């Protein structure tokens, strides 16, 4: 096998998976990520994978000899030690994690009178997240982990800004909001002692077709009997304040306005509330934005209807608390709003009517740390809606991080209440967190490569909706410590064409080779290429490698198990013969395209076994004496036999019928062959036994045999066994006594027939009698029915005279 060599124009190599298998054959390692990377310096080596180390032993020691490639210095630690590198000479820098600021989580501090303590730099003295600052030293492929704790503090300050739609359909809602300040102040006392409230309103962009631009409608956009204020885009009515009565007073002075289309310009207002922190008065505390409306919303692209094509710039444009650029910039997109709300730690509560619940539910799914509440038709339930939404938002913690540098990844694992572990989509979320509850997150940060400028980078991790954050400084380990003591323009590197560091030459630009002995301009000259042609042929390195400084460097395969080798890359370990789709049948190794078989195997593909155990039949005969064993497989000499040991004969009549006549004539002197028994059946050695129990049984003989049961011409059964002893002697054990069926008993048969005839006669008589009874009963019933239906004529006898005569007394007056 060829020894590893350098590769032309190599930079940092290819990074493979850490799980790739490693196999060592004849002292060379295949499948190693570190070897395949062909690292030309210690810095390149340690960026390949976490497991790679660089041996700094000089040439001439037990580790490397003259002619070895310097890329062989980069390998796994165990492999380097096996090759003879001293442990003390291996460069293998490790990453680390250092905590710079680790203040414990606290509740809000109060003075003896129970009032919250504040300082001038920070609005409140309170810590909910720990640690606050870290420094990570990252080596490629080696993750650095740390634990981040979050504790929900008691009496955390809250800023709430109420942003209301003042289009005409919200007229009745405005009446209920006028007393919201003091009422909400009272309700929030149960949550925090430090609460501020502000108010803003919006309608629509002040251009057609969103509003009517006729002079009269610009003054009063409502009907003639309604007194409305001029349309506007967004107005900051009240900066955040702790004076609830001031809120009531200013809101009471507000008037309804109007517009033409149904969707409103609320996104313009949300953007200004998010980015105009000074005008709104946001503090570094919990920031709530209540967005109240009974309509949908315009978003990016809708401005084209009014001739507005410039995208929203995401900047503050308030003058005298009015948004002045609504006619100039388009509505913001949803993604733009998400970014600005997140950057400014604002949690949004959408208070909308039932009709638009589905629309804002979908919007909520796109905006982290937001909630949707159902607003009654006149906003009478707005206080309960705000309290419920705040409790929902404050009971969940969702971590987010700023943009990561190229090649850096981060992973989370949430350790929430009651032992719940969040992974997958919920790896950075915890829910149902009450005041005083503490949760933690296991965070791992990993770098896959060094940044191009190799400078330190800073990222931040924070819980959504909170001002606190963790600042993390990332330092990248891109070079080994031994490179600091390198010798520039070293004599070890061919006339000073490189820096000798970490035991090898790091070549100057334009130079290559183990000692930087070649220029990139001359590596393809004919003189050097001639050394890379086998037998003065035309193919350079057999077309499987590159000629570098007159030496072939073989190409690498994607599969680390496969490689080219040889002085001219003429060999490989994957183009040998195959059997059963396995290289060398799985019973050998491929060296220079020839199978080197394991013991007991032969053949071009190592597919011929020299072991005869697979041909041994149950009777301990090779192929049952009917064939030969070739490569561990029986080749039956008689074509009618088959099977792994020539034990099957599909066309044979069977052993028992085949020898029936001979057994019958030899044991009982009967059967078709009794006259020629000695001539035809002399090959059988017959042994008679008195009973069936005396026949040979399985396990008692050293050869296989068959139990047979046959019937003769008299319907008598005889039993015997047939077997072959010592491959030639056919041995038969026969039961001497025949089993003949007994003759029939006449008396029971006659008695049975007579009894059957009698019983059949009696049954027929009973059936006849039953039929007659049924017939008589039917006839009698018929007679009775006709008798009942008969009617006789009735009349008076014409010669009949009654015996009674009635005479009337003429003198009777009826008194």
One DSSP character per residue, 183-209 reads HHHHHHTTT-S-EEEEEEEE---SSTT
Tell me the mean pLDDT in the region 368-382: 83
E strand or H helix at 705: strand 705-711
Least confident of 330-344, 432-446, 726-740, 789-803: 789-803
Structure tokens at 423: 């992974």
Burial class from Cβ neighbours inside 10 Å (0-12, 13-18, 19+) for residue 560 reads buried
Query: Quick one: which of 259, 327, 324, 329 has its CA closest to 294?
Result: 259
What's the residue count for the chain?
815
Torsion of CA 523, 528, 531, 532, to 10 degrees: 30
Per DSSP, the three-state class of 137 is strand
Q: Are strands 705-711 and 717-725 parallel, antiparallel or unpaired?
A: antiparallel
Asked if the model's pLDDT at residue 29 lies above 80, the reply is no
- Rounded to 10 deg, the angle between the 357-366 and 334-343 helix axes is 60
Looking at the DSSP bridge assignments, the partners of residue 519 are 511
Query: Quick one: which of 268, 236, 46 has its CA closest to 141?
Result: 46
Q: Are strands 457-463 and 397-401 parallel, antiparallel or unpaired?
A: antiparallel
Asked if the model's pLDDT at residue 515 lies above 90, the reply is no
At residue 11, the pLDDT reads 30
Tell me the mean pLDDT in the region 534-552: 80
Tell me the mean pLDDT in the region 154-173: 87
Mean pLDDT of the chain: 83
Helices (H) and strands (E) counted in the chain, each on its own, are 16, 44
Tell me the mean pLDDT in the region 124-142: 88
At residue 731, the pLDDT reads 86
Q: Do the Cβ atoms of 727 and 625 come closer than 8 Å?
A: yes
At residue 484, the pLDDT reads 86
Least confident of 211-225, 591-605, 759-773: 211-225
Q: Which residues contact 247 (CB under 8 A, 6 or more apart)?
A: 180, 181, 182, 197, 198, 199, 238, 241
Least confident of 85-99, 493-507, 520-534, 543-557: 520-534
Report which of residues 744 and 339 the model is more confident about.
339
Tell me the mean pLDDT in the region 287-315: 91
- Concatenate the DSSP letters of all residues of 103-127 into one string: PPP-PPPB-TTSPBP--SSSSS---
Q: Do the Cβ atoms of 136 and 443 come closer than 8 Å?
A: no
Using CA atoms, how far residue 217 sits from 213, 224, 228, 262, 755, in Å, is: 6, 10, 10, 17, 121
Q: Do the Cβ atoms of 32 and 75 come closer than 8 Å?
A: yes
At residue 527, the pLDDT reads 63
d(CA 755, CA 811): 103
C-alpha atoms less than 13 angstroms from C-alpha of 246 in its C-beta half-sphere: 11
d(CA 25, CA 83): 12
From the CB of residue 647, how many other CB atoms can be counted at a distance below 10 Å? 17
Least confident of 58-67, 371-380, 719-728, 752-761: 58-67
Q: Do the Cβ atoms of 275 and 315 come closer than 8 Å?
A: yes
Helix spans in 671-745 (H): 677-681
Q: How confident is the model at residue 452 (pLDDT cuts 50, 70, 90)?
A: confident
Query: Quick one: which of 100, 107, 103 has its CA closest to 471?
Result: 100
At residue 315, the pLDDT reads 94
Structure tokens at 442: 């296991």
Structure tokens at 736: 């001497």
Per DSSP, the three-state class of 714 is coil
Q: Which residues contact 515 (CB under 8 A, 6 or more apart)?
A: 492, 493, 494, 498, 505
Please give the DSSP secondary-structure letter assigned to residue 812: -
3 state SS for 622-651: EHHHCEEEECCEEEECCCCCECCCCCECCC
pLDDT tens digits, 336-346? 999 999 889 99
Per DSSP, the three-state class of 71 is helix
State the residue for tokens 């909706």: 465
d(CA 119, CA 491): 64
At residue 120, the pLDDT reads 40
Query: Quick one: which of 174, 69, 117 has its CA closest to 504?
Result: 69
Structure tokens at 600: 């007991």
Q: Which residues contact 65 (CB under 8 A, 6 or more apart)?
A: 59
d(CA 76, CA 83): 11
At residue 399, the pLDDT reads 92
At residue 41, the pLDDT reads 87
pLDDT tens digits, 695-742? 888 666 666 778 888 888 888 888 888 887 766 678 888 998 888 887
pLDDT tens digits, 612-642? 888 888 767 888 778 888 888 898 988 888 8
Least confident of 290-294, 556-560, 667-671: 556-560
Percent of the chain at pLDDT exceeding 70? 88
Going along 431-586, which residue ranges are E strands? 438-447, 457-463, 470-476, 498-501, 504-507, 511-512, 518-519, 545-548, 551-554, 564-565, 571-572, 578-579, 582-583
Tell me the mean pLDDT in the region 665-673: 87
What structural domains does the chain harbor? 96-107+126-153+407-477 (2.60.40.1510), 162-379 (3.40.50.410), 578-609 (2.10.25.10), 655-735 (4.10.1240.30)
Expressed in angstroms, the distance from the first to the final Cα of the chain is: 163
Q: How confident is the model at residue 461 (pLDDT cuts 50, 70, 90)?
A: very high
Burial class from Cβ neighbours inside 10 Å (0-12, 13-18, 19+) for residue 638 reads exposed
Report which of residues 332 and 12 the model is more confident about.
332
Highest-scoring range by mean pLDDT, 152-161, 241-250, 328-337, 646-655? 328-337
At residue 80, the pLDDT reads 86
Q: How confident is the model at residue 347 (pLDDT cuts 50, 70, 90)?
A: very high
∠ CA 571-561-607, nearest 5°, is: 70
Long-range contacts of 364-373 (CB under 8 A, 24+ apart): 366/334, 366/338, 367/334, 367/337, 367/338, 367/341, 368/338, 368/342, 368/398, 368/400, 368/464, 369/393, 369/396, 369/398, 369/464, 369/465, 371/347, 373/349
Asked if the model's pLDDT at residue 16 lies above 70, the reply is no
At residue 524, the pLDDT reads 55
Tell me the mean pLDDT in the region 459-470: 89
pTM of the model: 0.57
pLDDT tens digits, 239-260? 999 988 888 888 888 888 888 8
d(CA 365, CA 371): 9
d(CA 675, CA 59): 98
At residue 36, the pLDDT reads 76
Highest-scoring range by mean pLDDT, 113-117, 248-252, 323-327? 323-327
Distance from chain centroid for Cα 718? 70
From the CB of residue 394, how many other CB atoms can be counted at a distance below 10 Å? 21
At residue 541, the pLDDT reads 85
């Amino acid at each position: 096998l060829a020894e590893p060599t350098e590769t032309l124009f190599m930079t940092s190599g290819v990074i493979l998976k850490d799980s790739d298998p490693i196999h060592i054959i004849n002292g060379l390692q295949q499948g190693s990520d570190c070897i395949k990377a062909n690292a030309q310096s210690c810095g390149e080596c340690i960026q390949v994978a976490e497991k790679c180390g660089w041996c700094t032993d000089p040439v001439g020691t037990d580790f490397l000899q003259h002619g070895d490639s310097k890329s062989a210095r980069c390998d796994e630690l165990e492999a380097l030690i096996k090759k003879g590198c001293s442990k003390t000479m291996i460069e293998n820098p490790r990453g680390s994690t250092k905590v710079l600021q680790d203040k414990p989580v606290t509740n809000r501090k109060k003075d003896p009178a129970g009032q919250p303590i504040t300082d001038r730099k920070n609005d409140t003295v309170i810590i909910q997240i720990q640690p606050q600052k870290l420094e990570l030293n990252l080596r490629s492929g080696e993750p650095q982990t740390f634990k981040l704790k979050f504790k929900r503090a008691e009496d955390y300050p809250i800023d709430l800004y109420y942003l209301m739609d003042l289009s005409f359909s919200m007229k009745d809602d405005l009446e209920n909001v006028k007393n919201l300040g003091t009422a909400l102040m009272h309700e929030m006392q149960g949550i925090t002692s430090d609460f501020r409230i502000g108010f803003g309103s919006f309608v629509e962009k002040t251009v057609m077709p969103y509003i009517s631009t006729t002079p009269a409608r610009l003054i009063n956009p409502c009907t003639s009997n309604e007194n409305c204020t001029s349309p506007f885009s967004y107005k900051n009515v009240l900066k955040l304040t702790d004076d609830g009565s001031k809120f009531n007073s200013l809101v009471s002075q507000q008037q309804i306005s109007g517009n033409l289309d149904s969707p409103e310009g609320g996104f313009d207002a949300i953007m200004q509330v998010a980015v105009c922190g000074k005008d709104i008065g946001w503090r570094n505390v919990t920031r709530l934005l209540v967005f109240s409306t009974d309509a949908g919303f315009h978003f990016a692209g809708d401005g084209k209807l009014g001739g507005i094509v410039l995208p929203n710039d995401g900047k503050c444009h308030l003058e005298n608390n009015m948004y002045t650029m609504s006619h100039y910039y388009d509505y913001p997109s949803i993604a733009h709003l998400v970014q600005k709300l997140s950057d400014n730690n604002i949690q949004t509560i959408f208070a909308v009517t039932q009709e638009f619940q589905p629309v804002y539910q979908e919007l909520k799914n796109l905006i982290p740390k937001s909630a949707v509440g159902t607003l009654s038709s006149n906003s009478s339930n707005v206080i309960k809606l705000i309290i419920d939404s705040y409790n929902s938002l404050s009971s969940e913690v969702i971590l987010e991080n700023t943009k990561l540098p190229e090649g850096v990844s981060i992973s989370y694992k949430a350790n929430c209440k009651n032992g719940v572990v969040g992974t997958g989509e919920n790896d950075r979320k915890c829910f149902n967190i009450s005041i005083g509850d503490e949760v933690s997150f296991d965070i791992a940060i990993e770098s896959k490569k060094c940044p191009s400028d190799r400078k330190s980078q800073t990222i931040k991790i924070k819980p959504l909706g909170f001002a606190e954050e963790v600042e993390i400084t990332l330092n990248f380990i891109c070079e080994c410590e031994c490179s600091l003591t390198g010798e520039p323009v070293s004599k070890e590197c061919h006339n000073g064409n490189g820096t000798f560091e970490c035991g090898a030459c790091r070549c100057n630009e334009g130079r290559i080779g183990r000692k930087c002995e070649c220029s990139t301009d001359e590596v393809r000259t004919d003189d050097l290429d001639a050394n890379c042609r086998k037998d003065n042929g035309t193919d350079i390195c057999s077309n499987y490698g590159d000629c570098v400084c007159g030496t072939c460097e073989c190409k690498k395969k994607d599969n680390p198990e496969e490689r080219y080798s040889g002085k001219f890359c003429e060999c490989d370990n994957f183009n040998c013969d195959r059997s059963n789709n396995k290289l060398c049948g799985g019973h050998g190794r491929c060296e220079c395209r020839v199978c080197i078989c394991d013991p007991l195997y032969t053949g071009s593909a190592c597919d011929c076994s020299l072991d005869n155990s697979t041909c041994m039949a149950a009777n301990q005969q090779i192929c049952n004496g009917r064939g030969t064993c070739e490569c561990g497989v029986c080749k039956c000499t008689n074509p009618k036999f088959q099977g792994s040991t020539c034990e099957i004969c599909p066309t044979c009549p069977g052993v028992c019928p085949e020898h029936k006549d001979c057994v019958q004539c030899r044991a009982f002197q009967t059967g078709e062959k009794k006259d020629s028994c000695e001539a035809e059946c002399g090959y059988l050695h017959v042994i008679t036994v008195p009973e069936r129990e005396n026949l040979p049984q399985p396990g008692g003989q050293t050869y296989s045999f068959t139990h047979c049961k046959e019937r003769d011409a008299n319907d008598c059964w005889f039993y015997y066994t047939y077997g072959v002893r010592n491959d030639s002697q056919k041995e038969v054990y026969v039961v001497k006594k025949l089993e003949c069926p007994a003759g029939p008993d006449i008396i029971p048969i006659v008695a049975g027939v007579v009894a059957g005839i009698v019983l059949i006669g009696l049954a027929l008589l009973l059936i006849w009698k039953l039929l007659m009874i049924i017939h008589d009963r039917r006839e009698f019933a018929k007679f009775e029915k006709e008798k009942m239906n008969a009617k006789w004529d009735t009349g008076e006898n014409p010669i009949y005279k009654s015996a009674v005569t009635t005479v009337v007394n003429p003198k009777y007056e009826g008194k």
